[in-house]
Structures are given as C-alpha cells and as structure tokens.
Structure 1
Amino acid sequence: MYGAESTGGKTVHLLTVGNSFSHNATHYLGDLARASGDTLVLHEDNVGGASMELHWGKAEAADAHPGDKAGVYTGSKSLKDDLAGGHWDFVTIQQASIKSHDIKTYRPFAKELSDYIKKYAPDTTLLIHETWEYRVDDPRFSQKAPAPGEPKSQDEMYQGLSSAYSTISKELGLQRLPVGDAFHIANHDSKWEYHAPQPPFDAKSAASGTLPDQTHSLNVGWSWKKQPDGTTKLTMDGHHASMAGEYLGACVWYEVMFGKDVEKNTFVPQGLDPEYAKFLRETAHRAVQEAK
C-alpha cells in the first residue's frame, strides 16, 4: 500500500541509507513537495558507491566499537543513533548499482539492514529504492568479453536489477520505489528515448568543449570537467542521473511518500523542457501504479 491521496499539506521525515543514487533521486524531492504545499525533512546516511554490505558493516562496527570512525556517518553519528534519534516516516535502503543485477549480493545484507532498521525505528515505513540501468552507451556494455554474470547491455542490466529488487522486496515484505522501472519505460519510449550518437562519439579526437547530442539522456553522459591544474578533461558518466533523471526519480519518490498523483505537480526544474517534464511525471506515475 502506498497511502491515500490527501489534499492538505503533509510533512514527511525521510532517512536514506544509500549512496549517490539516493542523493540523485532526492535532489528535487523537496521542490516537488513545496509545489504542492508539502514539506520534506531529509537526512542522508549515504556513502559514495556504498553497497548494502558496506552499510551493514558500518552498523556492526558501530555496535562493536561505539564512536569508531568505521561505524559513523557525517556528523559522527551511527545508523543506530540516527534511527533512534528522530522520527522517520520513511527509511530507504538500496543496493550499489554496479551490483544491482546480482541477487547474491543482496543476501544476507538486505535482511540484516531491514531487521536492524525495524528494531531501532519500529514505527517507520521501510522502502527499498530500486536503482536504474546505465545509459545504453555506457562503457560497461562495450566489453567484448564481459566477466561471467556481468550484463552485456542496458536491457540485460535492467532485467537483472528488476528481478533482484522485486525478489528481495517480496522476501522482506518491503514496498519498492520503482525508479528503475521508470527509467526503463522512459528509455524505451518512441518519442522521448535517448538515442546514442551514430557513429559513436569519438572522445579521443573531440575538440575541447565539443559534446555529442545527449537530448533526453537520463544519465549525465559526456561532459568536460575542470581539473586541479586548470585544464579540462572529457569524462563519461553513464551511471549517475542527469537533471532529467533526477527529476524522474524524485517524481517516483514523491508519489509514493506523499500519496499524491505527481502528474498534477507543477514543479519543473529550470532548464528542463516543460513537455519533457510532463512526460517524466506521467512515466513516474505509471511506474508507481504498475508496481502496486
């Protein structure tokens, strides 16, 4: 159950136990809340690249040696401290995206975290954040001979993560934040999907500042980044969410947590095409409804 739609303002207290993907998905969540007269109170126990195993290891370290740096997050508090020290309407967990297709990496850590969170925050609603597939032209999918079990394509990565998250959520009786489903729907829409450049973008010979057409990319993709020595370097990030991807993820989280149809929300990030934003809200709504 995702909750009934309400007409008045609602305050949601949210704790995320994840990594940069949780940060991506909540980037615009407060803006969506404010646009409908709601309020988000967010605390992030996120660690870059963190897996469920890493978060469980931090919880164990904190219990074994309180105050040890290995067991604390920003602010020198452990997960137990944060769980017990506040009222949380929702707590979220997620798997590291690079491992998301492999259900073996969730066990036993998803259950350990779930039990731990329910012990120290018994009144919260625990959600599992389904992360997303990488961009179709991410270097992960260009390997001629990928390691055994590694997804060979965007679709194969999605099928793996979708199956893993669905299985674990059912095993643990958790609600799922279907961001990965929303990304997959958007990435396969005949009008709004991202099309990798053909022929492929030649990064080695690209002139400074030159980028391929990345219209409708839900991931950061190619960008020029300033280096410590003042030069710029061309980088590829097919993992993290772009503005559009962050908006799509936040729309999913908003509809689930605030119980309102995000299609009716008026917030659109500056620089995002309003018609594209409308499609992303519709996609988020569809993903949430299909996940019930």
Structure 2
Amino acid sequence: MMKIDMLVLKRTYILFGLLLIFSINVFGQNDGNALKLFIIGNSFSQNASTFLPQIAKEKGKTLVIGRAELGGHSLQQHWGYAEKYEANPDDPKGKPYNGKSLNMLLSGDTWDVIAIQQYSYLSGDSSSYLPYAKKLVEYVKKLQPNAQIVIHQTWAYRADAKKFGKIGKDVFAKDQHEMFQKSREAYHKLAKQLDLKILPVGDAFELVANDKKYGYKQDANFNFEHPVPPNLPDQSHSINVGYFWNQKELHFDPNHANDAGKYLGSLIWYSVLFNDLPKNIKFKPASVSDKFSRYLKSAAAKAIHP
C-alpha cells in the first residue's frame, strides 16, 4: 500500500508541476498572479470580460486590460485599420481606437495574452475568417513576439431572435442551434489552422441554452403583439438582454449578454487565463441569484473541461 500511495503522490506532484508550468508559460512570463491582457474585438468581447476585473481582484490577481474594441467589428475591419496605419501613419482611418492605431496600443506595453474574435454575425461563415485572422495574428506577433494569442469563441443569439448569423454566402442560420454549430466549427477550424487556444464562451452559452431547467423558454402568455408598459415577458434564466422598455417603446436585444451572460463569459475568461476552477470564484453580480450563479459556474466548468 505504501508503494502505491507514494506512486500516486509522485504522479500528483508531476501533474501539479506541469499545470503550474502551463499557467506560467502559456499565459505570459509571470508568477501566475499577474497578467496583462489585450483584447481585439467588439461589444461581445466587452460583454464577456465585463466582470473579469472584479473576479481577478477577489482572487488577489493583478490584471491589466488593454482594449481595441469597436461595436460590430469583424476581423477584416480590424486588419483593415492596421493596414491603413502601416501604409500611412498620419491617416486617421488607421487610428479608429480613440485616435490611436492598433500598433500604437500594442506597442504601449508588454502584453502576456492577446485575444481576437470574429464579429458574431459572421462567426458561422468560415470564409470570413481568412486571410484576415492570419494577417492580424502575424501582425500582432511582430509587435508582441512573446505574447500568447487566444481566440474568444463568441456565442449564438438567443433562440427567439428574429434573425441569426451568416453561415455562408447569402446563407443564414435557421435557428440558434445551427448558428452555434457553424460558429463553433469555424472557430475550431481557425484555432487548428493558426495553432491557437480557444476561450470557449460560446460552448458555455450553448450548454445553458440546452439545459432543461435553466435554458431560456419564450413566455407563451405574454402579448407580444400589443405589449403594455411596464410589463415584460418572463425571461427567467436568460443570459441575453432580451426584451426591455425604453420609455414607452419595447426593445429587443437577443444578441448581447445581460449580467448573467457577462458573468458566465467572465468565469470562462478568468478560469482559463489564470488556470483556476470556476467553483473557486465567490464573486457574482448582485442581479444574479446564488442558485443561478452556482449553475453558471458548473456550466463554465463543463465548457472548459467537456
């Protein structure tokens, strides 16, 4: 028995050592408690990283985040701005990030991790990724050769969306599930082509969407044809913004994440970047119940370790 226990103990030490090396080497040359993260994206990357600073602070981590994010922007657009700047540094079209270029932002510090993503509406169309992602990654590597580049996998729109993303030329996903499938395929294809790691936020959203208890279901009793303010449909457990009133007009946003969705995304980002488990995170937004937050942490863990 003693020999077996010692063998198990030895293997445990080896595994722990490998995990520690992975955490330090893959995500920056740091001690595991400090990280400089730069994000190239749009509103979806803003959503998914919203609560990342609060989680990092709770866990005693030092986190610096740099951002090149513009609403509704694709890989092609971000690369286009970089091209314009390199062709003519005085061209304002190459400096769309509050008057700065991607070159200027990346060169302003030394970054451990740099995240990229596709515009969600194009995420299911694999042809929209290349050559722009490859050119953008090569550009980033020249400016930050020691940084680890990762892919933020965005999510499919809520099941009751009126329209879903592109999955090919003039072809659109018929529903939430098809948008997820095609998007996931495209992200993993890109990750394989460029040898990059994925932050599986889209997978986590899909797990929640398909959960029998927590998956969002449209309110069959709400009068969508003639809504009366301030009444809203039941949107329990939605992780997307959904329906909301703006003065006396009912608005609908099935795409962006609400606080619960932002929390789910941030759980993924933190857990992967700092090599930690979602269950170890105590922070949660006040708008998310204790019960739902526990479920979201379990969904995040399944997405990271399927």
8 Å Cα contact 1:15/1:90 also seen in 2? yes
Aligned residue in 2 for 1:211: 232
Residue 281 of structure 1 and its aligned partner are, at CA, apart by: 1.1
TM-score for both structures, normalised by structure 1:
0.91
Q: Are residues 1:131 and 2:131 paired?
A: no
Residue 270 of structure 1 and its aligned partner are, at CA, apart by: 0.8
8 Å Cα contact 1:9/1:36 also seen in 2? no
8 Å Cα contact 2:204/2:303 also seen in 1? yes
Aligned residue in 1 for 2:250: 234
8 Å Cα contact 1:32/1:265 also seen in 2? yes
8 Å Cα contact 2:23/2:32 also seen in 1? no
Q: What are the Cα deviations for residues 104-139 of structure 1, in whole angstroms up to 9, with x where unaligned?
A: 011111101111111111111101110001000011
Aligned residue in 2 for 1:284: 300
Which gives a bigger RCO, structure 1 or 2 (Cα 8 Å, sep 6+)? 1
Aligned residue in 2 for 1:37: 60
Q: What are the Cα deviations for residues 10-36 of structure 1, in whole angstroms up to 9, with x where unaligned?
A: 121111110000000110000111111
- Separation of aligned partners in 2, 1:43 and 1:203: 41
Equivalent in 97, 112, 123 of residue 89 of structure 1: 112
Give the secondary structure class of the aligned counterpart of 2:171.
Answer: coil
Give the secondary structure class of the aligned counterpart of 2:76.
Answer: helix
8 Å Cα contact 1:10/1:39 also seen in 2? yes
8 Å Cα contact 1:17/1:46 also seen in 2? yes
Q: Are residues 1:185 and 2:207 paired?
A: yes
After superposition, where does 1:169-180 map in structure 2 within 5 Å?
Answer: 169-180=191-202
Q: What are the Cα deviations for residues 134-174 of structure 1, in whole angstroms up to 9, with x where unaligned?
A: 00001115xxxx99420001100000000000000110000
8 Å Cα contact 1:18/1:45 also seen in 2? yes
Aligned residue in 1 for 2:140: 117
Residue 9 of structure 1 and its aligned partner are, at CA, apart by: 6.8
One-letter amino acid of the structure 2 residue matched with residue 40 of structure 1: L
- Separation of aligned partners in 2, 1:156 and 1:53: 23
Between the aligned residues of both structures, percent identity stands at: 38
8 Å Cα contact 2:36/2:65 also seen in 1? yes
Residue 74 of structure 1 and its aligned partner are, at CA, apart by: 3.2
Gaps of 5+ in 1: 227-231
- Separation of aligned partners in 1, 2:84 and 2:225: 45
- Separation of aligned partners in 2, 1:13 and 1:196: 40
In our comparison, the structure showing a higher alpha carbon Rg is: 2
One-letter amino acid of the structure 1 residue matched with residue 213 of structure 2: K
One-letter amino acid of the structure 2 residue matched with residue 161 of structure 1: S
Distance change (3 Å), C-alpha of 1:86 and 1:73: farther
Residue 73 of structure 1 and its aligned partner are, at CA, apart by: 3.5
Q: Are residues 1:260 and 2:283 paired?
A: no
- Separation of aligned partners in 2, 1:62 and 1:264: 43
Q: Are residues 1:164 and 2:178 paired?
A: no
Aligned residue in 2 for 1:50: 73
8 Å Cα contact 2:278/2:297 also seen in 1? yes
Distance change (3 Å), C-alpha of 1:165 and 1:9: closer
Give the secondary structure class of the aligned counterpart of 1:43.
Answer: strand
- Separation of aligned partners in 2, 1:223 and 1:117: 39
Aligned residues between the structures: 278
Gaps of 5+ in 2: 1-17, 25-30
